[in-house]
Every structure is written in structure tokens, then in C-alpha cells.
Structure 1
Amino acid sequence: MVSHHVAPRPNCPEQAVGPPCDFLTGSENVAHRYRMPIDMKIFLILHHEIMGVPDNYRADEMVFYTARSLRKALELIKKTYVSRWSWWEVQVSELDDTEWPDHVGYFGPRGGKIVKPSFEKMVAIFEERPPDCR
């Protein structure tokens, strides 16, 4: 049996230490158990990349990472190798929020801040890629 240290919980009416309180349910219980704030900012790190064929290029995107701060988001971007015809976008939202995330900024493939990605420039770089990358 593994023993875990559990810090005192002064707001828990049944007990000061021990397992999570029985009166908490669902996400409240998980947040209480793992000491996660219920209202927590989350940074979404989206990777955008040019894809397709010459008569139908498109910018594809997907969420690559999530982070707890902008600093952590930029660290993740800078540690990740992506193609030269791609860029990053960082957005911020509240965890479990139903509103659209807020745009924080765009970043180049290596993490440098850019004002706005140029679709035409990225397509030109995509078209110049070596034949073995096609």
C-alpha cells in the first residue's frame, strides 16, 4: 500500500487531514484532491501549417499543447521542431469555460513573435521544399 502525504484542509468540515471530503462531488472533488483552482487560466498552443496541392493550398491547424502560463507556452514552442511553412498561435481561456478563447499572439516556427502570418509567404516556402519532403 502506498502512503501519500495529505496536507491539512481547514475548509473541510468532516476532517482536517485525510482523503478528500465526501461532501464534494465531481470536478470539485478532483480540484480539491489535487489542489487545482476551480477557475484556472489555460493557454492553448495551436500549430498552423500549409498543406494541400498547388490548386488547393490550405492552412491546417490543431492544438499541439496546453500550458499554465504564456512563459510555459513559449518554452514548449521553442522546444518543438516544426516545418518552415508553419507558425504558432497562442490563445488563453478559463478552464471549463464555454466562451471562445482570447487570441494572445502569433509566433514563427522557432518561437519568435510575429504580427500576423502571411499565407502567401508560407505557401511560397511550402512550394520551395525539397522533393523528398513532398
Structure 2
Amino acid sequence: MKLIAVILLTFSGFSVARAQCDADVREAFGGTASIMIYNTYITIGAIADAHVNDVYDAARVKELMGEQASMMQSVIGMLDKCKVAKSNGLSADDVLYVEELIGCLESLKGEAEGLSDYANGGGEEAKNRYNDNRDKAWGQIKSLLGLE
């Protein structure tokens, strides 16, 4: 009888420990994602400023924004897999967060592409696409990070 009690306590301890680990992983993921979207937003803006102030030429802006857009597309693809895998332990709120994060990354990607196009002679349409996506991304970042 003592053996059964020890086994049950052991398994319940693993379950509690795993649940705490899962919560810690979700919290770390959220923190990492928050830093990433904020830093990406700042990076794109800094590169835009560098271009306007003739620090970076159009070719350099295109290269840097291509890298940003490519990395964001990769992360969007990874996150897309997470939001459809309901058996992975995500709650409805977790799935909603992933969907909002994907939306923000898409806006940041649009911002990067707009800046690249604008720097490379895209004109007013590219400038407006950059600004519209920048404003949209900032609104999404504020919402995801709980900023005012």
C-alpha cells in the first residue's frame, strides 16, 4: 500500500512540475516575443532614420529590410503551426496571443517592405505603405505589451 501511495505522489509531483514548467515556458515565450517585436519596430525605424540622414544608401536599406522581412516570415510560419496544433497544450487565450503576434509580425514585415521599396525609388505609395504599417504595428505592439 505504501508503494502505491509513493507512486501516486511521484506521478502527481511530475504533473505539477510539468504544469509549472509549461507555464514558465509560455511566460518566457511571451517575454521573448515582446522583446522581439519591440526591437524589430525600433530597428526598422532606426534604419529609416539612417536612410533619410544619408547614413545608409538604398542598396543597404534593401538588404537590411530583406533580412528583416525574411526573418519575420520564418517566424510567422513557425507560429502558424502553433496556432493550429490544439493538442499542444495551448489555451484559447494562448492561441489568441499567437494570432495577434502573427498579425503584428505581418505589419512589421509590411513596414520593412514599404521602407525597402521607398528607399529604392518606390515613391509616395511605398512611403504610405511604410507609414501605414508602422502605425498599425505600433498599435498592435502597444496592445500586446499592455502599453498606454
| TM-score, scaled to structure 1 | 0.26
Q: Which has the higher helix share?
A: 2
Q: Which has the higher strand share?
A: 1
| TM-score, scaled to structure 2 | 0.25
